[in-house]
Structure 1
């Protein structure tokens, strides 16, 4: 990210900005994220899903028929969050950005290998999609989120760091 700022207004005096490489480590190790999108009528939609951090983008997949995919067709802005459900420890990360469909087979092969390594979920790559080897049904389309802003919330001391592109 191009700019890093500790948000003093929401940080304790002893808080410091979390270095970007530590934020990347959180994104790389997190297994589950919450994806927030907006329906065509403006109502929010939130769903948990695994995501993969690779080369400065967060990737996730879903069925083309699912609500989140239909929402993205109408509005390419989304938020992915990950972190802890504790008040006094841990790091929470909010990634705001624009999402786009990924259909390049070389990228999909790389992502499928990472999904297998990270959460033991095996995909094979079809023609621009993932095919789930554990179930029969619709192929999964893959999306990549390019972050425009990342907010990081640290606890003990409490701090908020803003990274912008």
Structure 2
């Protein structure tokens, strides 16, 4: 078995890793072709990465023009501890307003565990007026867990 295959996570491990993390690096494509890279809090929608952002944000404008994205979730400080999942895909805009707010609630819960849903709902409904949401339909998933090298 080659080293790449040795460090790859199983589908269940990828799912657990994505469920346990809160932030990702989101790359979209600027009009001039350069990458636009930002850190985003995210949630999961039927197992797929979901995020929301302001309707006028650069990433939103980029996605409306070209929906291709890369999403990197990583952990570990030392080389032997590095773990990560890189999801390539297409960001599909969620049009249903209730679904947009549901994504917002999922993200808010992950960001602030233990906070009462009613408090979160007030925040989500307020900030959600200016936000749009996306779900990432994966085209390729790459993973690694360097802890397997020892």
Fold shared by both chains (TM-score > 0.5): yes
**TM-superposition CA deviations, 1:77-118 (whole Å, max 9, x none):** 001111125211142110000011112234234323322321
In the TM superposition, 1:3-152 aligns within 5 A as 8=2, 10-11=3-4, 15=6, 17-86=8-77, 87-120=79-112, 122-124=123-125, 131-132=126-127, 139-152=130-143
| Distance of 1:110 and 1:141 partners within structure 2 | 11
| Distance of 2:103 and 2:93 partners within structure 1 | 13
Aligned 8 A contact 2:43 2:106 in 1? yes
Superposed CA RMSD? 2.2
Question: Hey, what does 2:116 align to over in structure 1?
Answer: none
Q: Which runs of 5+ in 2 are unaligned?
A: 113-119
Q: Which runs of 5+ in 1 are unaligned?
A: 1-5, 125-130, 159-165
| Distance of 1:70 and 1:85 partners within structure 2 | 32
SS in 1 for 2:49: strand
| Distance of 1:51 and 1:117 partners within structure 2 | 10
Give the structure with the larger helix fraction. Answer: 2
Give the structure with the larger strand fraction. Answer: 1
Deviation at 1:17, TM superposition (A): 4.2
SS in 2 for 1:40: coil
| Distance of 2:148 and 2:52 partners within structure 1 | 35
